[in-house]
């Protein structure tokens, strides 16, 4: 990499967050591919296999997040994003060439693909938070969420455009085209600089100063570099043999529990049940074939993208905890109210549940969806940031995996309204967690958060 050549800050922020496109595309693509895959492989009566094929990526991501977070402390955020993009491209192409009725093959390939998805979910927030100035960190870290939901919307549109093809070809193309953004990411990240905080931690001070000169006003570079150096020296002397056990040591425990808890709640609240299975949810509500309901994912995708843009506008105007409390409360009520109404209104239109799901998605899109990754990126001290981000990402993917695996089994045995009511209760428990366990981090530098423990 040519470190002498000036790299525009816009280029750094765009490709620094572009990993979210891959993350989002693979979250969304199975939504449209699943109805065709179901028909092609005759999986209509096997909810367990459907759940495993859908959630295999999340299972791989559990390990990908932890591994990448740990390795990024040794190899650097940039290098690990490059490796992840290559794994993503290979995994996407291997998915597309699955043998007919190759359920086991596809599950294992998607687990492999999940390593890259989990890595991206851990690396991008850490990289973006370390590159962003404190007063813009919410907005710039929120670009990651805009990338994620743009990837989801892109996958929904691709699914919709390909739905007229023969079913055995349609789902293969849907899965295989994920290699395209992976290659774009690889080429873009080749030109990115490494995080200045990683460079300081590895005693590459001149390079760190140069990177800061790309992304900060010239009169702020020396001051921020000194703050990073002081923090790095303190952490190095206090933490020479950092290990995963350190994450739960007394001085780190409070912030680790807060960050990991937010990551876990985001998934156990049930958002991905909607994103993975909305055509099947509409099919169950209306009786129409899931493959004819592929406009609904696009509607959800548009809501998500608009919500992520709203977040970019309000990110640094409102406190993190305020937005998470608002979002969690409305999301919980959106899940619980259909079950309550169904008790009192005997002939309630089954599409009402879909309307409430849209309200849920709208509030999720500008609160819990982006802020989870903002908090993961900014709350952990430098000495453990890679490891802790990886663990938080892994807990996020454990939730995503369990939701993806269990939702089709739950809806096969319970009314949909009851399933969503359970998720609604979890949303409200998430609000309690935010109010009692998560410190406010808006407007503080990463070094201030680390020194103060902010509310500890």
For the stretch 214-252, pLDDT in tens is 888 888 888 888 888 887 766 655 555 556 666 777 677
pLDDT of res. 107: 95
Tens of pLDDT, residues 84-121: 999 999 999 999 999 998 999 999 999 999 999 888 87
The answer to whether position 432 is within a domain reads yes
pLDDT of res. 321: 93
pTM assigned to the model: 0.79
Q: What is the 3-state secondary structure (H, E, C) of the chain?
A: CCCCCCCCHHHHHHHHHCHHHHHHHHHHHHHHHHHHHHHHHCCCCCHHHHHHHHHHHHHHHHHHHHHHHHHHHHHCHHHHHHHHHHHHHHHHHHHHCCCCCCHHHHHHHHHHHHHHHHHHHHHHHHHHHHHCCHHHHHHHHHHHHHHHHHHHHHHHHHHHHHCCCCHHHHHHHHHHCCHHHHHHHHHHHCCCCCCHHHHHHCCCHHHHHHHHHHHCCHHHHHHHHHHHHHHHHHHHHHCCCCCHHHHHCHHHHHHHHHHHHHHHHHHHCCHHHHHHHHHHHHHHHHCCCHHHCCHHHHHHHHHHHHHHHHHHHHCCCCCHHHHHHHHHHHHHHHHHHHHHHHHHCCCCCCCHHHHHHHHHHHHHHHCHHHHHHHHHHHCCCHHHHHHHHHHHHHHHHHHHHHHHHHHHHHHHHCCHHHHHHHHHHHHHHHHHHHHHHCCCCCCCCHHHHHHHCCCC
Give the number of other Cβ atoms within 10 Å of residue 180's Cβ.
Answer: 15
Identify the residue with better confidence: 38 or 125. Answer: 38
pLDDT tier, 354 (very low <50, low <70, confident <90, very high otherwise)? confident
pLDDT tier, 127 (very low <50, low <70, confident <90, very high otherwise)? confident
pLDDT of res. 285: 74
Q: How many domains does the chain have?
A: 1
pLDDT of res. 170: 93
Q: Is 146 a residue whose pLDDT tops 90?
A: no
pLDDT of res. 358: 93
Tens of pLDDT, residues 26-52: 878 888 898 899 889 998 878 888 889
The Cα–Cα gap between 378 and 395 comes to 17
pLDDT of res. 434: 96
Tens of pLDDT, residues 301-344: 999 999 999 998 888 789 999 999 999 999 999 999 988 988 88
pLDDT of res. 109: 96
The answer to whether position 1 is within a domain reads no
Burial readout 8-29 (b: 16 or more C-beta within 10 A, e: otherwise): eeeebbebbbbbbbbbbbbbbb
Structure tokens at 362: 């709208």
pLDDT of res. 227: 83
The Cα–Cα gap between 320 and 37 comes to 40
Q: Is 378 a residue whose pLDDT tops 90?
A: no
How high does pLDDT run on average in the chain? 85
Query: Quick one: average pLDDT of 270-289?
Result: 82
pLDDT of res. 236: 57
Structure tokens at 283: 């099919």
Which domain range does residue 203 map to? 9-452
The answer to whether position 437 is within a domain reads yes
Between 231-245, 255-269, 317-331, 440-454, the lowest mean confidence (pLDDT) is in 231-245
Identify the CA nearest to 137 among candidates 435, 305, 379.
Answer: 379
CB 131 within 8 A of CB 16: yes
pLDDT of res. 416: 85
pLDDT of res. 186: 94
Cα 251 to Cα 119, 130, 245, 246, 380, distances in angstroms? 26, 21, 12, 9, 11
Percent of the chain beyond pLDDT 90? 36
The answer to whether position 35 is within a domain reads yes
Identify the residue with better confidence: 228 or 371. Answer: 371
Query: Quick one: average pLDDT of 172-180?
Result: 94
The answer to whether position 309 is within a domain reads yes
The answer to whether position 261 is within a domain reads yes
The answer to whether position 3 is within a domain reads no
Q: Is 209 a residue whose pLDDT tops 60?
A: yes
Q: What is the CATH number of the domain that holds 208?
A: 1.20.1250.20
Q: Is 262 a residue whose pLDDT tops 90?
A: yes
């Amino acid at each position: 990499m040519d470190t002498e050549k000036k790299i525009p800050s816009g280029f750094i922020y765009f490709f620094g967050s572009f990993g979210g496109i891959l993350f989002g595309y693979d979250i969304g693509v199975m939504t449209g591919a699943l109805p065709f895959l179901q028909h092609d492989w005759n999986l209509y009566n096997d909810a367990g296999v459907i759940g495993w094929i859908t959630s295999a990526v999340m299972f791989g991501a559990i390990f990908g997040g932890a591994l990448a977070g740990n390795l990024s402390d040794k190899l650097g955020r940039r290098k690990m994003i490059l490796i992840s993009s290559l794994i993503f491209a290979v995994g996407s192409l291997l998915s597309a060439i699955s043998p007919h009725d190759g359920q086991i093959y596809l599950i294992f390939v998607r687990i492999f693909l999940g390593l890259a998805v989990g890595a991206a979910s851990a690396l991008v927030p850490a990289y973006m938070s370390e590159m962003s100035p404190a007063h813009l960190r919410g907005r710039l870290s929120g670009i990651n969420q805009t990338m994620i939901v743009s990837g989801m919307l892109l996958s929904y549109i691709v699914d919709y455009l390909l739905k007229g093809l023969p079913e055995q070809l349609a789902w293969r193309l849907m899965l295989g085209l994920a290699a395209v953004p992976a290659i774009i990411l690889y080429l873009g990240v080749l030109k990115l600089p490494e995080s200045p905080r990683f460079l300081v931690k590895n005693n590459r001070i001149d390079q760190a100063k140069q990177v800061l000169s790309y992304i900060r006003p010239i009169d702020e570079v020396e001051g921020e570099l000194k703050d990073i150096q002081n923090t790095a020296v303190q952490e190095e002397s206090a933490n020479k043999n950092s290990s995963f056990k350190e994450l739960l040591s007394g001085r780190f425990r409070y912030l680790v529990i807060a960050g990991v808890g937010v990551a876990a709640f985001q998934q156990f609240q049930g958002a991905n049940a909607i994103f993975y299975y909305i055509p099947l949810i509409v099919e169950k509500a209306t009786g129409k074939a899931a493959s004819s309901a592929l406009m609904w994912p696009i509607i959800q995708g548009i809501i998500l993208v608009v919500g992520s843009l709203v977040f970019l506008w309000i990110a640094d105007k409102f406190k993190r905890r305020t937005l998470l409390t608002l979002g969690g409360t409305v999301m919980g009520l959106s899940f619980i109210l259909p079950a309550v109404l169904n008790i009192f209104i005997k002939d309630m239109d089954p599409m009402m549940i879909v309307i409430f799901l849209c309200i849920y998605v709208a509030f999720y899109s500008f609160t819990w969806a982006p802020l989870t990754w903002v908090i993961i990126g900014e709350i952990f001290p430098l000495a453990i940031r890679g490891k802790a981000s990886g663990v938080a990402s892994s807990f996020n993917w454990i939730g995503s995996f369990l939701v993806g695996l269990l939702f089709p089994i739950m809806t096969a045995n319970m009314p949909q309204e009851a399933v969503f009511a359970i998720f609604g209760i979890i949303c409200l428990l998430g609000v309690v967690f935010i109010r009692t366990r998560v410190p406010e981090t808006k407007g503080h530098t990463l070094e201030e958060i680390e020194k103060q423990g902010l509310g500890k």
